[in-house]
């Protein structure tokens, strides 16, 4: 087989890649600065942290499905640029309000909701845009490079944020993210490849188009298991994430710079995952890489609540590093599989349906994290999140994926390949799917 052409000289992909890298650096800064702002400047409680996390992701649940149908009707490049501009302007209101001594938790909640809504459209259009820019055999390479840039940004962002938080403070640091979104918009706007939109005459009722995307996801026996795993994992990892900053700063007594170092360690794990993910996939097989990588997350997630016993920095660094490595390997493999599997005209609705199902659990996780943290305490809630991560892994560990080296390439009507026999009767996920 002829190896796929290199993307290093692909101009349009280079613009998309650079835009994502710049935007990710700013985003990683804000992901640390926003909860620190809520905890240290606005004295947020565990429940209020739950509200903040829920509002950041609520749009995936509220408008996730119609967003896919809209993206399939619009020019995707325009959607990406507009979403970047909206996020830049919205985030810029936070340092402005801080300088005017008008900053409140209410404004923080509104900013989280608006930027979360823009992110829905950006993410759906983004994953649907990549296959239009590169050849089919370059999709895995493209996703790997994008994951690598995200991991590099995660290394630079939190570490720099931990230092800068002490110098300029969280409110002004959010300005970095606003500027990064403007730069991202300019880079995406420079992509030359024509952005084609389906003929208006072929459009059907919105409900019909949404149903097509959702049906594509839930009918495929492998894809629905992957979506169930990801959605369950997001639910419980969001419970943990909601309380992580509060746990580290208040209960463990760590400093902002130590917290930034911990987040950077996780980002290094993500970078290692992006670099080694393809090799790991070739070694164990593309199908097996999905359940094996998510299974790795379970013991390392347990190191977070164990940090309350002793050596908190060491345990949190190990937890973040290994968890991030596994998540990146999992994402590169399953996203590439989805993009190969789906017809181009259905990509927006397929991605929106997946986002609706897997990100729609995150606002629920945020609210649960805040409520359980208030009711049971932070550490018991973190242990609940560990148990939930094990449940998430079961969706794909107890499935045909564990016995498959290769994944199908193209829609086959939902039929498994002849060599992909299900696990023994009475085991696996049949009971879950029948409910």
Q: Helix 105-133 vs helix 312-341: angle between axes, to the nearest 10 degrees?
A: 40
CB 6 within 8 A of CB 175: no
Q: Which of 80-89, 125-134, 254-263 has the highest mean pLDDT?
A: 80-89
Buried residues in 72-109 as b, exposed as e (16+ CB within 10 A): bebebbebbbbbbbbbbebbbbbbebbeeeebebeebb
- pLDDT score of 321: 92
Top pLDDT among 421 and 287 is at: 287
| pLDDT (0 to 100) of residue 429 | 27
**What is the per-residue pLDDT across 300-330, written as a single tens digit (0 to 9) for each?**
999 999 999 989 999 999 999 999 899 888 9
Report, as an integer, the average pLDDT of 92-103.
92
Pairwise CA distance, residues 52 & 64, whole Å: 19
pLDDT the model gives residue 384: 97
CA distances from 31 to 84, 217, 282, 357, 414 (A): 16, 30, 33, 22, 38
Find the distance separating the first CA and the last CA of the chain, reported in whole Å: 43
Q: Which residue has the tokens 């998540």?
A: 327
Would residue 199 count as lying in a domain? no
pLDDT band for position 186 (cuts 50, 70, 90):
very high
Confidence at residue 418, expressed as pLDDT on a 0 to 100 scale: 35
pLDDT for position 203: 60
Among 223-232, 239-248, 261-270, the minimum mean pLDDT is found in 261-270
* Residue at 313 is within a domain: yes
Q: What is the rounded distance in angstroms from the CA atom of residue 303 to the CA atom of residue 156?
A: 24
Q: Does a structural domain hold residue 198?
A: no
pLDDT above 60 (res 426): no
- Which of 96-105, 208-217, 296-305, 359-368 is predicted with the least confidence, judged by mean pLDDT? 208-217
Domain membership flag for residue 180? yes
User: Which of 121-135, 198-212, 336-350, 354-368 is least confident?
Assistant: 198-212
Tell me which residue has tokens 């809630």.
Answer: 381
The dihedral sign for the CA sequence 294, 389, 232, 70:
negative
Q: How many domains does the chain fold into?
A: 1
State the pLDDT at residue 132: 74
C-alpha distances out from residue 77 to 74, 171, 382, 386, 406, Å: 9, 30, 40, 39, 33
| pLDDT score of 156 | 58
Please tell me which residue, 42 or 200, carries the higher pLDDT value.
42
Q: What is the mean pLDDT of the chain?
A: 81
Name the band, by pLDDT with cuts 50, 70 and 90, for residue 232. very high
Q: Is the residue at 289 inside a domain?
A: yes
Q: Which of 200-204, 224-228, 242-246 has the lowest mean pLDDT?
A: 200-204
Q: Using alpha carbons, list the distances in angstroms from residue 19 to 36, 74, 81, 183.
A: 26, 20, 10, 7
**3 domain residue, yes or no:** no
Q: Is the pTM of this model over 0.85?
A: no
Average pLDDT over residues 342-359: 80
Which CATH number goes with the domain that contains 283? 1.20.1250.20
**Mean pLDDT value of segment 59-72:** 79
Please say if the pLDDT value at position 432 is more than 90. no
Compute CA distances 177 → 111, 164, 263, 266, 385, whole Å. 13, 13, 17, 20, 29
Q: How far apart are CA 344 and CA 347, in angstroms?
A: 5
Mean pLDDT value of segment 137-155: 69
Question: Average pLDDT of 62-77?
Answer: 78
- Lowest mean pLDDT across 335-349, 351-365, 407-421: 407-421
Per residue in 151-170, pLDDT (tens digit) is: 566 555 666 666 677 667 77
Structure tokens at 390: 């094990």
Q: pLDDT grade, residue 424 (50/70/90)?
A: very low
Q: How far apart are CA 50 and CA 407, in angstroms?
A: 38
pLDDT the model gives residue 221: 87
The pLDDT value recorded for residue 213 is 81
In a domain, 200, yes or no: no
Range of the domain at 252: 11-192+207-433
Q: How confident is the model at residue 430 (pLDDT cuts 50, 70, 90)?
A: very low
| Per-residue pLDDT tens over the stretch 367-417 | 999 999 999 999 999 999 999 999 999 999 998 988 888 887 665 444 433
Question: Does residue 130 fall inside a structural domain?
Answer: yes
Q: What is the reported pLDDT for 147?
A: 67
- What pLDDT, in 10s, does the model give residues 2-16? 555 667 777 888 888
- As a whole number of angstroms, the distance between CA 377 and CA 400 comes to 38
Are the C-beta atoms of residues 372 and 62 closer than 8 Å to each other?
Answer: no
20/427: higher pLDDT: 20
Q: Is the pLDDT of residue 341 over 70?
A: yes
């Amino acid at each position: 087989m002829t190896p796929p052409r290199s993307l290093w000289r692909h101009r349009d992909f280079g613009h998309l890649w650079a835009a994502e890298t710049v935007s990710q650096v700013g985003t990683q800064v804000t992901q640390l600065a926003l909860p620190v702002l809520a905890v240290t400047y606005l004295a947020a409680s565990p429940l209020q942290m739950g509200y903040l996390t829920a509002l950041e992701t609520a749009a995936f649940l509220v408008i996730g499905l119609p967003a896919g149908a809209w993206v399939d009707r619009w020019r995707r490049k325009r959607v990406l640029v507009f979403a970047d501009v909206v996020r830049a302007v919205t985030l810029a209101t936070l340092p402005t309000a801080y300088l005017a001594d008008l900053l409140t938790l209410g404004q923080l909640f509104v900013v989280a909701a608006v930027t979360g809504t823009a992110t829905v459209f950006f993410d759906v259009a983004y994953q649907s845009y990549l296959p239009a820019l590169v050849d089919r055999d370059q999709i895995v390479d493209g996703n790997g490079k994008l994951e690598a840039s995200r991991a590099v940004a995660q290394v630079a962002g939190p570490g720099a944020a931990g230092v800068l938080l002490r110098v300029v403070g969280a409110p002004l640091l959010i300005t970095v993210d606003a500027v990064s979104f403007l730069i991202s918009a300019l880079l995406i706007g420079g992509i030359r490849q024509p952005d084609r939109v389906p003929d208006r005459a072929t459009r059907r009722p919105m409900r019909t188009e949404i149903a097509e995307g959702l049906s594509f996801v839930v009918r495929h026996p492998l894809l629905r298991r992957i979506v169930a795993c990801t959605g369950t994992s997001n639910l419980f990892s969001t419970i943990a994430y909601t309380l992580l900053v509060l746990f580290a700063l208040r209960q463990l007594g760590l400093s902002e710079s130590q917290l930034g170092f911990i987040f950077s360690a996780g980002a290094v794990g993500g970078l290692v995952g992006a670099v080694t993910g393809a090799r790991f996939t070739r070694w164990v097989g593309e199908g097996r890489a999905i359940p094996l990588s998510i299974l790795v997350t379970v013991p390392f997630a347990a190191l977070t609540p164990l940090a309350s016993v002793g050596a908190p920095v060491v345990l949190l660094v190990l937890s973040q590093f290994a968890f991030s490595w596994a998540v990146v390997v999992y994402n590169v493999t399953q996203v590439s599989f989805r993009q190969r599997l789906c017809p181009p005209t259905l990509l927006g609705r397929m991605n929106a349906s997946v986002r609706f199902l897997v990100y729609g659990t995150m606002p629920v996780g945020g609210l649960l994290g805040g409520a359980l943290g208030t009711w049971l305490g932070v550490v018991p809630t973190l242990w609940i999140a560990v148990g939930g991560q094990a449940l998430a892994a079961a969706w794909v560990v107890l499935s045909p994926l564990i016995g498959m080296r290769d994944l199908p390439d193209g829609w086959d009507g939902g039929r498994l390949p002849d060599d992909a026999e299900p696990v023994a009767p009475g085991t696996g996920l049949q009971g879950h799917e029948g409910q």
